[in-house]
Amino acid sequence: MSQQRVAVVTGASRGIGRQIAVTLAAQGQAVVVGYAGRADAAAEVVQEITAAGGRAVAVQADVADEHAVAAMFDTAESEFGGVDVVVNSAGRMVLTTIAELNLDDLDAMHRTNIRGTFVVLREAARRVRAGGAVVTLSTSVVGLQFPTYGGYAASKGAVESTTLILARELRGRDITVNTVAPGPTATELFLEGKDQPTIDHLAKQPPLERLGTPEDIANVVVFLAGPGGRWVNGQVLRANGGII
């Protein structure tokens, strides 16, 4: 019997991260469900996975805290024997014009999105086994330049650069490193505070004329993390239904 693959997924208590964790588990991977503060939501994800016959454990970690992240990887190794897949889905988003951007909000966003990505990628670079995969989450707004996304898109531009550089630094390790950049995706976080006309307008942007779903994004991540994605490396995959 081949060794079970083990995935660490941050931001896995809700939204896209949750769906990624559940989908990886459905593909047979043991999953560490990383979460920042919602222990109840993370426990629900673990319950969903184990009820379906999978293996999972929830671990609280602020991704920008290198000690907490190291402890999360320690748990993956002690509970399941190692780490093969790392998906950094944890993120923070504040939307406002650049002229009105509160610098404390900018610092908080960059702490989670930039420092957090560095911390998780650093740990992944040290621990992921040969044959493994690392996936970060960016945003298609890096290319679309929507107003009010200045601070957020800046942080995700850093995510893309860092991810692609790590792919080159891991030469010879047989580890793929990619980033997935979703377009508008119907999560609780995305829909919050938006009126129906705004949602309808965003849904019309892609040629496919709908919002993405967490399942759409999770399926792309699982492809990159699985045997079918082994020849995709050092890429930004814009999963957005064809928005230009």
Dihedral, CA atoms, 115, 116, 122, 123, nearest 10 degrees? Answer: 150
Distance in angstroms (rounded) separating the CA atoms of residues 142 and 153: 5
Asked about 152 being catalytic, the answer comes back as yes
Asked if 159 contacts 114 with a C-beta cutoff of 8 angstroms, the reply is yes
* Catalytic site residue from 35, 118, 152, 190: 152
Q: What is the residue-wise DSSP string for 110-164?
A: HIIIIIHHHHHHHHHHHHPPTT-EEEEE--THHHH--TT-HHHHHHHHHHHHHHH
Specify which residues 3 forms β-bridges with: none
Amino acid symbol at 82: G
Distance in angstroms (rounded) separating the CA atoms of residues 233 and 214: 23
Residue ranges of E strands in the chain: 6-10, 30-35, 56-60, 85-88, 133-137, 176-180, 236-237
Residues carrying an active site annotation: 152
